[in-house]
Amino acid sequence: MMRAPDFRYHAARSVKDAARALKDGGPDAMLIAGGTDLVPNLKRRQQTPALLIGIRHLRELRRIRNGKGLMIGGAVRLSEVAADRKVLRHYPALARAAGLVATPQIRNMGTLGGNLCLDTRCTYYNQSYEWRQAINFCMKAPGATGGHACATPTGDAICWVATSSPRCWAVSSTDTAPALIALGARVTLVSSDGERDIPLEELYADDGMAYLTKSADEILTVVHLPPEDAAVRSTYWKLRRRGSFDFPVLGVAAAVRFGEGNTVSDARVVLGAVASHPVLVPESAELVGRRLTDDVVEAFADAAAAHAKPMDNTDLALGWRKKVARRYVAGALRELKEAHAAK
């Protein structure tokens, strides 16, 4: 069996306590919620924190409440998110995305906050230490010993996916982030220095290494969904090899508000797993005021697919993934149009 390195564990007594512990622990401390992402990473020595601060049990993070919309705590389990009646009814994109993560067992452990903070993925990176040693590591996770006796560039300098690139192209693989961004969600971040509220899309940066804009000692405590709106339709399409448990190689989330005469009054389409961050398709705004005719849908799908920059670091062939992105975007929009028409 692969074994995790030694670490200390602190079961936080409150969010405040967790924030303090996180701050005190500095770069050696990490939060752990369900651990379904972090524990495999520990075993592979992708992360080697000396201190883990557990937050999954904190009541204050495990509630789904009504506020000015819906407020979902950061440690609510994915299975609860997927089964919540309000979520199912008013935010179907989220229910679908959460319900399509991994397997039932993992959804029973994995949390929404953990899913939003999920490490980026790459088939050169999600590997054991020994495996990565055999490629002499890469810039996202340089080896502790700084390479070994072979004639390759040192790992901290190179990205094997794009060897002349100065950056890391690891892939944002969270299912719920695209859905939540499409739905216009905001998140609350709490640290011992205070609290702030940002649109979810601003949590992410297009960088496989520094993929979160938040500082390391901020805790994602609440996800805020905008007030329910009967005119909004949303969906999430996920592409993966096996419906039973794979990560997405493409996620398409779409939320469209239909106004007068079936014209679009607001639209947000987000692509997941095609870049280091969820991609909010800028052309979404151009849908406003138009009807989702076949021409409009196809033209938009072309534009959206152009933002998909799949690399050879996930499952399935990259050229094909790009082609399918077009189909999925068009399919998702048609689904919304039909759902609206059926009302």
Partner 1 sequence: MKVVGQARRRVDARAKVTGQTRFADDVVLPRMLYGKLLRSAHPHALIVEIAASAARAAPGVHLVLTGADFPTAYGIMPVSQDEHALCRGKVRYVGDPVAAVIAASEREAADALALIRVTYEPLATIASPEEALRTAEPRIQDYGEGPNLHRLAHFAFGDVEPALAGADQVFEDVFFYQGSTHLSLEQHATVAALDADGRLTLWSSTQTPHYLHRELARALDMPAHHIRVIATPNGGGFGGKSDPFNHEIVAAKAALVTGRPVKITLTREEVFYAHRGRHPVLMRLKTGVRQDGTIVAMDLETLLDGGAYGSYGPASTLYTGQLQTVTYHVPRYRFRACRAFTNKPPCGPKRGHGTPQPRFAQEVQLDKIAVALGRDPADLRLQQLAPANSVTANWLTIGSMGLKPCIERVVQGSAWRERRGQLPFGRGLGMACSSYLCGAGLPIYWNEMPHSGVQLQLDRSGRVTVFCGATEIGQGSDDVLAAIIAEVLGLETTDIKLVTGDTDLTPVDLGSYSSRVTLMMGNAAIQAAERAKAILSASAGQKLGLPAERVAFADRRVFDVENPSAGMAFQEAVVAAEVEHGTLGTTGSYRPPRSAARYRGGGVGPSVAYSYTAAVVEVEVDPATGWVRVSKVWIGHDIGRVINPVLARGQVEGGVYMGLGEALMEEQAFRRLPPRLSSALVHKIPSMLEYKSPTALEMPEVVTYFIEDPDPSGPFGAKEVGQGPLLPIAPAVANAVFDAVGVRVDQVPITPDLVLAALGAKAKGKSGRVGPEAFPAVPWPEALVVPPPWEGGNGKAINEPAKSRDALPTHHSGTAGVKV
Ligand X SMILES: Cc1cc2nc3c(=O)[nH]c(=O)nc-3n(C[C@H](O)[C@H](O)[C@H](O)COP(=O)(O)OP(=O)(O)OC[C@H]3O[C@@H](n4cnc5c(N)ncnc54)[C@H](O)[C@@H]3O)c2cc1C
Task: Using CB under 8 A, list all residues that contact partner 1.
Answer: 1-3, 123-124, 126-128, 130-131, 133-136, 148-153, 158, 160, 163, 241-247, 315-317, 319-320, 323-324, 327
For residues 221 and 67, give the distance between their C-alpha atoms in angstroms, rounded to a whole number.
15
Q: Minimal distance in Å, beta carbon 92 to ligand X?
A: 17
Any contact of residue 53 with ligand SF4 (CB under 6 A)? no
Any contact of residue 170 with ligand SF4 (CB under 6 A)? yes
Q: Select the span of 84-92, 101-109, 158-166, 232-240 touching ligand SF4 (CB under 6 A).
A: 158-166
Of 82, 118, 280, 281, the one binding ligand X (CB under 6 A) is 118
Using alpha carbons, list the distances in angstroms from residue 253 to 2, 9, 41, 101, 141: 36, 36, 27, 14, 30
Residues 37-56 that bind ligand X (CB under 6 A): 37-38, 40, 55
Q: What is residue 95's three-state secondary structure?
A: helix
Q: Which does 111 bind (CB under 5 to 8 A by kind): ligand X, ligand SF4, partner 1, none?
A: ligand X
Q: Which does 35 bind (CB under 5 to 8 A by kind): ligand X, partner 1, ligand SF4, none?
A: ligand X
Provide φ and ψ at 136, rounded to 5°.
60, 35
CB nearer to partner 1: pick between 164 and 230: 164
- Which DSSP helix (H) or strand (E) runs through 87? helix 85-90
Q: Which does 32 bind (CB under 5 to 8 A by kind): partner 1, ligand SF4, ligand X, none?
A: ligand X
Residue type, 252: V
Of 56, 77, 90, 140, the one binding ligand SF4 (CB under 6 A) is 140
Q: Select the span of 24-32, 54-62, 156-164, 238-246 touching ligand SF4 (CB under 6 A).
A: 156-164
Q: What is residue 219's three-state secondary structure?
A: strand
Of 29, 76, 94, 111, the one binding ligand X (CB under 6 A) is 111
Radius of gyration (C-alpha) of the chain in whole angstroms: 20
Please give the angle made by the CA atoms of 85, 89 and 94, to the nearest 5 degrees: 90
Q: Which does 159 bind (CB under 5 to 8 A by kind): ligand X, ligand SF4, partner 1, none?
A: ligand SF4
Any contact of residue 124 with ligand X (CB under 6 A)? no
Contact by Cβ (8 Å): 305, 281: no
CB nearer to ligand SF4: pick between 207 and 283: 207
CB nearer to ligand X: pick between 115 and 276: 115
Q: What is residue 322's three-state secondary structure?
A: helix
Bridge-based pairing state of the strands 29-32 and 8-11: unpaired
Of 46, 234, 313, 314, the one binding ligand SF4 (CB under 6 A) is 313
- Which DSSP helix (H) or strand (E) runs through 94? helix 92-99
* Selection from 173, 126, 158, 127 nearest residue 275 by Cα: 173
DSSP character at residue 313: T
Q: Minimal distance in Å, beta carbon 33 to partner 1?
A: 20
Any contact of residue 36 with ligand SF4 (CB under 6 A)? no
Q: Minimal distance in Å, beta carbon 257 to ligand X?
A: 26
Q: Within 10 A of 156 (CB to CB), how many other CB atoms are there?
A: 15
CB nearer to partner 1: pick between 1 and 230: 1
Any contact of residue 117 with ligand X (CB under 6 A)? yes
DSSP character at residue 227: P
The pair of structure tokens assigned to 251 is: 């996620």
Tracing tokens 């800028």 back to the chain, one arrives at 282
Q: Minimal distance in Å, beta carbon 58 to ligand SF4?
A: 31
